[in-house]
């Protein structure tokens, strides 16, 4: 309460109201991914923190910096087991790299500084500061020192020299993750690859991918093992750049968890806390790599036919119209491949994937990214089932007049569960199980849902309708929702 | 996945799909409160469990029995830190009295039996069973033994005799909680009170209150200390029946946490695991209490005037029309007093309050209660801010054609925060803080939101419109939403 009241007294704080804590946590993740600096969330005791955890799980996996402030009962009130009393520390530990409870009013400032530094990293982390109410309402607080922020560590010459040897050998694969799916690092990786023949791949769990025409676009490690295993089948030396040995998303009977051969050796060029981008540039210099020639994909064209909308048409149209420098929040789930494939032909942009597999992040991440970058178009591709997790995001997008286009991929089905059920050997399921993955009954009407939160919208069932609505949404500023029935 | 596939093979299981895990957990709570037996939730790893925690917090405080099944990665996959990997045990411990991870396929059956028994209690509890995927897909499972369910423990004669002495003394207050706000226990408490002059009060955190005409209706402990402190000011002997010493919901500067005087002595008639109802009946017999005379409140009348809708008119009309034996889910928050007061004049019914102070339970609890009791009308009174937490509940109400009337109390404001800000001394807040409790911009349109999930609805801005819509909703079977603009 005192923190909220302070908004009017302390300049430079912008309060953004969300109707559900899962929106706050996802928005803070999106803010950090877009701009590389932490936002702060303000949550209410254990249950408020509980509602935020699923999206903080994704933030944790993305190494997004978040300063998470949680109000706690006044210290003397904790002994009485009031209704809202719970073990906030345990709630917090599930997703936080750093948890700190203030010890006194005078400790609030120093504790806040420590929390900001812990969130910053590198790598970024969810850092949680728990503040009992009496530490807010009692006199004696003092501002903390400016948080001491550490830059990423440079990679040693010895490491560079060792990797310079390995990268020349047959079967070298460089896996870019963390902060290194950015234009500078991609250009360096391209030079190294062109000079040595090393393969380059992108880890799935980087928080932000710089993609599109004019950029080196290595393959992203596929979601399913049958795609990922062939990619690494000939890998003898895996070189990790702010990434880890790639693993399967889920385990399946008879399929290995690690996607690289057992015989493969792994070498770390840059750890998560290191300057992977600087390391790649230094490595390119060290091996004497010259400029590499980029072959761009053909420009996509809008599909303007009066035919039922398909994912392929949707992807091509969106790619053709996507404004340069857009931020794309990607929660396509089972619809991902055609859209991601098409977006590689689009103008240069950045994509933010679901890093931790917890659905419900797509709209909040778009929200946070739009707050961080008001001069960039933000586009959220969101599956219908996922969008329903944190649909309250639309309200804050309208309230803050954020420049977000939301594209709902409405297949009326938890199709990913359908796929996974068959893969885990639970196939041959009957009508009762089938009903558990069918969300067509009753039909969700996202145009009405959006209108209920004051957002303009339209529905597309044909390629032409989708092209028309997308032109309209991308051609204006402000929030707009397209329900794409596929 | 295998659990879902089993729906078609194992008779007697009813699968109910919810679009968000917080709806599942709240619905399981409502089921348990309505029928006194556990439902089971099926959740997906740490993040799915995370989304359920806020409503499980309320279930924990209500002592509702829930069998919470959480899928985990296959055991060999846990070492590889896949995207969805998290510490599920820590997530679970925040709300569960019992957490068990299966040790092998053969252990799934016995572990399930233990979990059911732990959920059952008494008192009821959230009991969590974590099942790694390979324990589902590997042969070797065996059904567990039927869970050994314990009845509540009878209260000893020595305790009854001791309380029989105390209850005759001046300044005795009997506090009913747990399962004892039921017609039998209330009738016994009434006889005891009439015979001895002892005061009777209802603990706020009982899961289910039997109220309405024809029943003894003691005062419920008020939410704010300035109401609760006078209630207990003359209490010298507090007698607890499945309840605890009453405490303030929040702490406030200069106000005590305990609502009884320091000089008061506390005696436990029945613990949470005991048969409090049997103890009250035995106590009434022991002290020779005769029948007590019930004075019912006047019957309420529908307010049919063409005037702007007020909470008082809303309460009176709802009370006048409420079908006998209804189940009321009460998440009125700052609108509670006029509605709860009016409902005491209604036909006999049962109310289910927000036991743990975590908002977003009102609609899910109504959903679960309607599943448990298909022959009873369920009415959810829900504040607009709270309703937005788990609005996905409407979809499942429509899908299962549940007999629920949802009444949204739309004051376009987080009014409880407004009140609490002033109480904690953070008053005098300015326009930026004010904006954080104002949800009028953009305006939420619950009629459109309901339509987006296939639910019929109407909006009332006058007393007459509310009366018309309430007659319509209560007079039919099936889901209907009323947006009451107050």
Contact B395 A452 (CB under 8 A): no
Mean pLDDT taken over chain A: 96
- Does ipTM come in above 0.90? yes
Q: Which of A13, A52, A54 to mutate to test the interface with B (most CBs of B within 10 A)?
A: A54
Tell me: the pLDDT tens digits for B439-479?
999 999 999 999 999 999 999 999 999 999 999 999 999 99
Which residue(s) pair with A151 in the sheet? none
Which member of B61, B73, B437 has the closest CB to residue A251?
A: B73
d(CA A150, nearest CA chain B) in Å: 26
Contact list in B for residue A95 (CB cut-off 8 A) is: 50, 86
**Concatenated DSSP letters of B249-302:** SS--TT--SBSS-TT-EEEEEE-TTB-HHHHHHHHHHHTT-------PPPPP--
Contact A77 B17 (CB under 8 A): no
Structural domains of chain A in order of their starting residue, each with its CATH number: 2-137 (3.40.50.970), 157-286 (3.40.50.1220), 311-485 (3.40.50.970)
Q: Which residue, A187, A199, A190, A198, is CA-closest to A164?
A: A198
Residues in Cβ contact with A422 at an 8 Å cutoff, skipping those fewer than 6 apart: none
> What is the predicted pLDDT for the residue at A279?
98
Which member of A86, A430, A453 has the closest CB to residue B94?
A: A86
d(CA B308, nearest CA chain A) in Å: 23
d(CA A231, nearest CA chain B) in Å: 18
Contact list in A for residue B81 (CB cut-off 8 A) is: 244, 247
Chain A residue with Cα closest to B427: A5
Which member of A7, A421, A443 has the closest CB to residue B1?
A: A421
> What is the predicted pLDDT for the residue at B426?
66
Mean pLDDT taken over chain B: 96
> What is the predicted pLDDT for the residue at B427?
65
Which member of A87, A426, A448 has the closest CB to residue B2?
A: A426
The Cα–Cα gap between A229 and A424 comes to 18
Q: Which of B9, B51, B392, B437 to mutate to test the interface with A (most CBs of A within 10 A)?
A: B51
Contact list in A for residue B86 (CB cut-off 8 A) is: 57, 94-95
Which spans in B322-452 are helix H? Answer: 336-343, 362-372, 384-387, 393-399, 415-423, 431-435, 446-452
Which spans in B36-156 are helix H? Answer: 45-62, 88-93, 108-120, 133-137
The Cα–Cα gap between B213 and B377 comes to 17
**Concatenated DSSP letters of B289-341:** -------PPPPP-----SSB--HHHHHHHHHHHPPTT-EEEEE-GGGHHHHHH
Which member of A74, A94, A417 has the closest CB to residue B90?
A: A94
Which member of A204, A398, A425 has the closest CB to residue B137?
A: A425
d(CA A430, nearest CA chain B) in Å: 6
Contact B19 A388 (CB under 8 A): yes
Q: Do the beta carbons of residue B273 and residue B123 sit within 8 Å?
A: yes
Contact list in A for residue B5 (CB cut-off 8 A) is: 421, 426, 428-430, 433
d(CA A378, nearest CA chain B) in Å: 20
Q: What are phi and psi of A404, to 5 degrees?
A: -120, 130
d(CA A266, nearest CA chain B) in Å: 15
Q: Which of A21, A29, A53, A440 to mutate to test the interface with B (most CBs of B within 10 A)?
A: A53
Mean pLDDT across A374-401: 98
d(CA B225, nearest CA chain A) in Å: 13
Mean pLDDT across A36-58: 97
**Concatenated DSSP letters of A213-272:** TTS--PEEPPSSHHHHHHHHTT-SEEEEES----B-SS--TT--SBSS-TT-EEEEEE-T
CA terminus-to-terminus distance, chain A: 45
Contact B452 A453 (CB under 8 A): no
Contact A250 B84 (CB under 8 A): yes
Q: HSE on the CB side for B384, CA within 13 Å? A: 24
> What is the predicted pLDDT for the residue at A157?
98
d(CA B338, nearest CA chain A) in Å: 22
Contact list in A for residue B54 (CB cut-off 8 A) is: 47-48, 50-51
Which member of A93, A204, A253 has the closest CB to residue B137?
A: A253
Band the pLDDT of A418: cuts 50, 70, 90. Answer: confident
Tens digit of pLDDT at every position of chain B (486 positions): 888 988 998 899 999 999 999 999 999 999 999 999 999 999 999 999 999 999 999 999 999 999 999 999 999 999 999 999 999 999 999 999 999 999 999 999 999 999 999 999 999 999 999 999 999 999 999 999 999 889 999 999 999 999 999 999 999 999 999 999 999 999 999 999 999 999 999 999 999 999 999 999 999 999 999 999 999 999 999 999 999 999 999 998 889 999 999 999 999 999 999 999 999 999 999 999 999 999 999 999 999 999 999 999 999 999 999 999 999 999 999 999 999 999 999 999 999 999 999 999 999 999 999 999 999 999 999 999 999 999 999 999 999 999 999 999 999 999 998 888 887 766 677 899 999 999 999 999 999 999 999 999 999 999 999 999 999 999 999 999 999 999
Contact A433 B7 (CB under 8 A): yes
Which member of A80, A91, A398 has the closest CB to residue B442?
A: A398
Q: Which of B3, B56, B86, B437 to mutate to test the interface with A (most CBs of A within 10 A)?
A: B86
**CB burial class (10 A; 0-12, 13-18, 19+) of residue B15?**
middle
Q: Which residue, B168, B171, B195, is CA-closest to B265?
A: B171
* Residue A475 in tokens: 């051609």
Q: Which residue, B62, B93, A385, is CA-closest to B70?
A: B93
User: Could you tell me how far CA A1 lies from the centroid of its own chain?
Assistant: 30
Which member of A4, A8, A47 has the closest CB to residue B431?
A: A8
Write down the residue that tokens 């792994």 correspond to: A266
Q: Do the beta carbons of residue A383 and residue A336 sit within 8 Å?
A: no
**CB burial class (10 A; 0-12, 13-18, 19+) of residue A207?**
buried
The Cα–Cα gap between A14 and A396 comes to 14
Which residue(s) pair with B292 in the sheet? none
Tell me: the pLDDT tens digits for A7-43?
998 899 999 999 999 999 999 999 999 999 999 999 9
Contact list in B for residue A9 (CB cut-off 8 A) is: 430
Tell me: the pLDDT tens digits for A237-296?
999 999 999 999 999 888 999 999 999 999 999 999 999 999 999 999 999 999 999 999
Q: What are phi and psi of A471, to 5 degrees?
A: -55, -45
The Cα–Cα gap between A333 and A327 comes to 18
d(CA B187, nearest CA chain A) in Å: 27
The Cα–Cα gap between A414 and A386 comes to 9
- Which string of b and e fits B61-89 if b means at least 16 CB within 10 Å? bbbbbbbbbbbbbbbebeebebbbbbebb
Q: Which residue, A189, A173, A193, is CA-closest to A181?
A: A189
Is the dihedral angle over the CA atoms B245, B248, B251, B254 positive or is it negative? negative
Contact list in A for residue B46 (CB cut-off 8 A) is: 53, 57, 94
**CA Rg value for chain A:** 23
Which member of B1, B22, B80 has the closest CB to residue A258?
A: B80
Q: Which residue, B407, B406, B386, B410, is CA-closest to B397?
A: B406
The Cα–Cα gap between A91 and B436 comes to 25
Size of interface A-B (CB pairs under 8 A): 316
Contact B74 A251 (CB under 8 A): yes
Q: Do the beta carbons of residue B379 and residue B397 sit within 8 Å?
A: no
Which member of B45, B388, B453 has the closest CB to residue A19?
A: B388
* Residue A434 in tokens: 């089938």
Band the pLDDT of A228: cuts 50, 70, 90. Answer: very high
Contact list in B for residue A431 (CB cut-off 8 A) is: 8
d(CA A100, nearest CA chain B) in Å: 17
Residues in Cβ contact with A214 at an 8 Å cutoff, skipping those fewer than 6 apart: A294, A296, A348
d(CA A93, nearest CA chain B) in Å: 8
Q: HSE on the CB side for A295, CA within 13 Å? A: 1
The angle formed by the CA atoms of residues B360, B337 and B255, to the nearest 5 degrees, is 85
The Cα–Cα gap between B113 and B149 comes to 10
Q: HSE on the CB side for A198, CA within 13 Å? A: 31
């Amino acid at each position: 309460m005192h923190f909220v009241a302070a908004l009017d007294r302390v300049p430079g704080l912008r309060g953004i109201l969300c109707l559900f804590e899962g929106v706050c946590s996802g928005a803070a993740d999106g803010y950090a991914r877009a701009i590389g600096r932490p936002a702060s969330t303000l949550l209410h005791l254990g249950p408020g923190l509980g509602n935020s955890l699923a999206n903080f799980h994704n933030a944790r996996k993305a190494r997004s910096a978040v300063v998470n402030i949680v109000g706690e009962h006044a210290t003397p009130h904790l002994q009485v087991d009031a209704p809202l009393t719970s073990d906030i520390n345990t709630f917090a530990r599930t997703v936080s790299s750093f948890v700190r409870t203030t010890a006194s009013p005078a400790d609030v400032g120093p504790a806040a500084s420590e929390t900001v530094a812990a969130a910053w990293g590198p790598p970024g982390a969810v850092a949680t500061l728990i503040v009992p109410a009496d530490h807010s309402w009692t006199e004696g607080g003092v501002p903390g020192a400016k948080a001491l922020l550490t830059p990423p560590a440079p990679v040693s010459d010895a490491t560079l020299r060792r990797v310079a040897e390995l990268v020349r050998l047959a079967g070298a694969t460089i896996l870019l993750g963390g902060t290194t799916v950015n234009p500078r690092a991609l250009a360096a990786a391209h030079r190294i690859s062109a000079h040595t023949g090393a393969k380059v791949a992108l880890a799935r769990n980087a928080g932000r991918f710089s993609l599109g025409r004019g950029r080196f676009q290595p393959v992203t490690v596929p979601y399913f093992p049958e795609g990922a295993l062939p990619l690494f089948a000939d890998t003898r030396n895996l070189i990790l750049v702010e990434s880890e040995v790639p693993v399967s998303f889920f385990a399946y009977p008879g399929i290995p968890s690690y996607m690289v051969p057992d015989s493969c050796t792994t070498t770390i060029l840059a750890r998560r806390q290191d300057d992977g981008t600087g390391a790649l540039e230094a490595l390119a210099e060290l091996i004497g790599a010259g400029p590499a020639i980029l072959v761009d994909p053909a420009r996509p064209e809008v599909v303007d036919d009066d035919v039922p909308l398909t994912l392929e048409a949707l992807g091509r149209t969106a790619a053709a119209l996507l404004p340069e420098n857009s931020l794309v929040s990607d929660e396509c789930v089972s619809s991902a491949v055609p859209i991601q494939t098409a977006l590689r032909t689009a103008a240069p942009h950045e994509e933010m994937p679901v890093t931790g597999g917890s659905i419900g992040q797509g709209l909040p991440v778009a929200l946070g990214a739009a707050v961080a970058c008001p001069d960039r178009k933000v586009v959220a591709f969101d599956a219908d089932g996922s969008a329903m997790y944190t649909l309250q995001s639309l309200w804050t997008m309208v309230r803050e007049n954020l420049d977000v286009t939301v594209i709902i991929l409405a297949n009326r089905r938890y199709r990913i569960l359908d796929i996974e059920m068959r893969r885990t050997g639970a196939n041959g399921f009957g009508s009762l199980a089938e009903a558990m993955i069918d969300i067509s009954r009753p039909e969700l009407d996202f145009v009405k849902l959006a209108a209920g939160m004051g957002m303009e919208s339209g529905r597309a069932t044909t390629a032409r309708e989708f092209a028309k609505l997308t032109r309209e949404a991308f051609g204006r500023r402000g929030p707009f929702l397209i329900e794409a029935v596929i």
